[in-house]
Amino acid sequence: MGETLLELKDLSVRYTTDGVISRAVNHVNLKLDKGEILGLVGETGAGKTTTALSLLKLLPKYTSEVDGEILFEGKDINKMDDKEIRNIRGSKISMIFQDPMTSLNPVFRVGEQIADVIKIHNEGISLHEVEDRVDNILTMVGIPPSRKREYPHQFSGGMKQRIMIAIAIACNPDLLLADEPTTALDVTIQAQVIKMMRNLQKELKSSVILITHDLGIVANFCDKVAIMYAGEIIEYGTLEELFDKSKPHHPYTEGLFGSIPNIQEKTSRLKPIFGLTPNPAELPEGCHFHPRCEKCMEVCKSGEVPTYRNGDYRCQCHLFAGKEAAV
């Protein structure tokens, strides 16, 4: 597709709590084009949210450390000072948070909370114009503008998430980070919200990074998919490439697909991945997935795992050794 909007080069994030260092994100490389939708998939604690927060420099100041480059429109976000990053937050990159129940400020009217973003990024805008735009945005997310004078607690969960989305899109951002936008919602509401987000994306032509652990949503929504495990992107490719069962995949990806039911195939049981996500303070040697991997080999237990590429597709697994050409 078109030009590159965002590029992560060797991004690493470490947290230090009580002298324990947790490596939450390790050497992540990613590229996102304008208008592209990337699905970032992984279990809880895989470092997805940390990655997203680092794009906005929203990580806790004193306890976290970010290495590597985050190039947004050619500028490194990691090196920006407070003022520069503030100009980007909300106007060029905005974020939809996981839990709409706690992410809205309970003491301000929802209209004010949307108007805030507009006022911050459009200096000297008239109040009348702000009101107009708030009404507009509320209509876009399917909330009657008359409700802007209500407080967050007067809305249901799905409606609150719509307001969160309204805040996020208020300034027409180039990049939208959606951090599990539907996890806290009912399944029926989830579908509505995802449908609405897709329509909005088409309308606004923003790029989106959708963080989720729901492969169904990814299949419905994304162009590219990156699978994250223990802070690394272990497999990356287009939606078609990753969802193509005839091709070989990273054992973890296979495990993820193995743990959701499929109506078309006849399987007696689902295949779960055994074990838990490793503790980011004590990551295993070698391939971080090897203790849980069914196809674990001697090479996996130590040393670096090389990345195998085929065009844009890449996979970080020893199983792919020598297969680059074949895939």
Partner 1 sequence: MANVSAAANTPTKAKKVKKNSQGAEVWSRLKNRKLAMIALAGILLVCFIALISDIVYPYQKWAIEQVASNKLLQPFKDGSHWLGCDHLGRDMAARIFHGSRVALLIGVGSTLISLFIGSVLACICALYGGLADMIIMRIMDILSSVPGIIISLAICSGLGNGIWQLMTAITISGVSYHTRMIRSYSLSVAQMEYVESSTALGGTPTHIMFKHLFPNIISIIIIQCAGNVSGNILQVATLSFIGLGIKPPRPEWGSMLNEGLTYMMRSPFMVWVPGIALVFTSLMINTFGDCLRDAFDPQLKGKA
Partner 2 sequence: MLKYTIKRIILIPFMLLVIALLIFLFLSLSKADAITQMLPTQYTPEDYYNLQHELGLDKPVVVQYLNWVWGIISKGDFGMSYKTRGPVWTEIGYRIPTTLKFAIVTTICTLLIGVPLGVLCAVKQYTLVDDITNVICKIVGSIPGFWLALVLLLTFSLKLKWLPTYGLTSFKHWILPVVTSVLPGSAYYMRQVRSSMLDCIRKDYVRTARSKGATERTVIYRDALRNALLPMITITGSVFALQMGGSVVIENVFALPGVGSKIVEAINSKDIPMIMASSMMLAIICCLMMLIIDLSYALVDPRIKATFVSAKRSKKTDKEKEKEAA
Contact set with partner 1 (CB under 8 A): 15, 17-18, 20, 22, 24, 44-45, 47, 49-50, 53, 59-60, 63-64, 277, 279-282
* Shortest distance, position 288 Cβ to partner 1, whole Å: 14
Residue closer to partner 1 (CB basis): 189 or 281 = 281
Two structure tokens written together for 69: 């480059």
Structure-token match 């997203």, residue found: 52
* Shortest distance, position 240 Cβ to partner 2, whole Å: 31
* Shortest distance, position 208 Cβ to partner 1, whole Å: 21
Q: Which does 199 bind (CB under 5 to 8 A by kind): partner 1, partner 2, none?
A: none
Residue closer to partner 1 (CB basis): 183 or 310 = 183
Cα dihedral 104/106/110/111 (nearest 10): -120
Q: Which does 49 bind (CB under 5 to 8 A by kind): partner 2, partner 1, none?
A: partner 1
* Shortest distance, position 251 Cβ to partner 2, whole Å: 35
Q: Which does 102 bind (CB under 5 to 8 A by kind): partner 2, partner 1, none?
A: partner 2
Cα angle, residue 141 at apex, residues 2 and 158 outer, rounded to 5°:
115
CB 183 within 8 A of CB 102: no
Report the C-alpha gap between 160 and 227 in whole angstroms.
29
Provide DSSP, 205-235.
Answer: --EEEEEES-HHHHHHH-SEEEEEETTEEEE
Q: Which does 18 bind (CB under 5 to 8 A by kind): partner 1, partner 2, none?
A: partner 1
Q: Which residues bind to partner 2, rule: CB under 8 A?
A: 56, 58, 62, 82, 86-91, 94-95, 97, 99, 102-108, 116-117, 120-121, 142-144, 147, 150-151, 153-156, 158-159, 162, 164, 167, 188-189, 192
CB 180 within 8 A of CB 212: yes
Q: Which does 3 bind (CB under 5 to 8 A by kind): partner 1, partner 2, none?
A: none
Provide DSSP, 9-23.
Answer: EEEEEEEEETTEEEE
Using DSSP bridges, classify how beta strands 313-315 and 232-238 pair: parallel, antiparallel or unpaired: antiparallel
* Shortest distance, position 67 Cβ to partner 1, whole Å: 16
Q: Which does 272 bind (CB under 5 to 8 A by kind): partner 2, partner 1, none?
A: none
Report the C-alpha gap between 149 and 135 in whole angstroms.
11
Question: At residue 316, what are phi and psi to the nearest 5 degrees?
Answer: -110, 85
How many angstroms from the chain centroid is the CA of residue 261? Answer: 24
Residue closer to partner 1 (CB basis): 28 or 239 = 28
Structure-token match 């923003």, residue found: 206
Q: Which does 99 bind (CB under 5 to 8 A by kind): partner 1, partner 2, none?
A: partner 2
Helix (H, G, I), strand (E, B) or coil at 178: strand
Residue closer to partner 2 (CB basis): 88 or 315 = 88
Residue closer to partner 2 (CB basis): 34 or 92 = 92
Work out whether the CA dihedral 198, 199, 200, 203 comes out positive or negative.
Answer: positive
Residue closer to partner 1 (CB basis): 139 or 279 = 279
